[in-house]
Amino acid sequence: MSREKILILDFGSQYNQLIARSVRELSVFCEIVPPNISADRIDRKSIKGIILSGGPASVYQKGAVHCDPKIFRLGIPVLGICYGMQLMAKTLGGTVDKAGSREYGRATLTVTDNTTLFKGVPKLSTSWMSHGDKVHKMPHGFKRIAMSRNTSIAAFEDNQRRLFGVQFHPEVAHTQYGRQMLKNFVKGVCAARGDWSMKSFVRETIEDIRNTAGRDRVILGLSGGVDSSVAAVLIHRAIGHRLACVFVDNGLLRKDEARIVREVFQKHFKINLKVVNAAEEFLSALKGVVDPEKKRKIIGKIFIRRARSTRT
Model confidence pLDDT, tens digit, residues 248-279: 999 988 999 999 999 999 999 999 999 989 99
Which of 4, 169, 190, 245 is labelled catalytic? 169
Burial 241-253 (b: 16+ CB within 10 A, else e): eebbbbbbbbeeb
Q: How many residues does the chain have?
A: 312
The per-residue pLDDT for 3 is 78
Which of 4, 30, 67, 82 is labelled catalytic? 82
Number of Cβ within 10 Å of residue 122's Cβ equals 11
Catalytic site includes residue 67? no
In whole angstroms, what is the distance from residue 179 CA to residue 265 CA?
A: 37
Nearest to 116 by CA among 86, 140, 149, 142: 142
Catalytic site includes residue 157? no
Which of 4, 171, 236, 245 is labelled catalytic? 171
In whole angstroms, what is the distance from residue 310 CA to residue 281 CA?
A: 14
The tally of CA atoms less than 13 A away on the side-chain side of residue 288 is 2
CATH of domain 198-309: 3.40.50.620
pTM above threshold 0.85: no
In whole angstroms, what is the distance from residue 64 CA to residue 59 CA?
A: 6
**CB contact at 8 A, 186 and 28:** yes
Cα 72 to chain center, whole Å?
20
The three-state secondary structure class of 248 is strand
The per-residue pLDDT for 307 is 66
Instruction: List, for the chain, all residue ranges whose pLDDT scores fall below the cut of 70.
Output: 1-2, 100, 306-307, 309-312
In whole angstroms, what is the distance from residue 166 CA to residue 227 CA?
A: 31
Catalytic site includes residue 257? no
Which CATH superfamily does the domain covering 5-189 fall into?
Class I glutamine amidotransferase (GATase) domain (3.40.50.880)
Delimit the CATH 3.40.50.880 region(s) of the chain. Answer: 5-189
Delimit the CATH 3.40.50.620 region(s) of the chain. Answer: 198-309
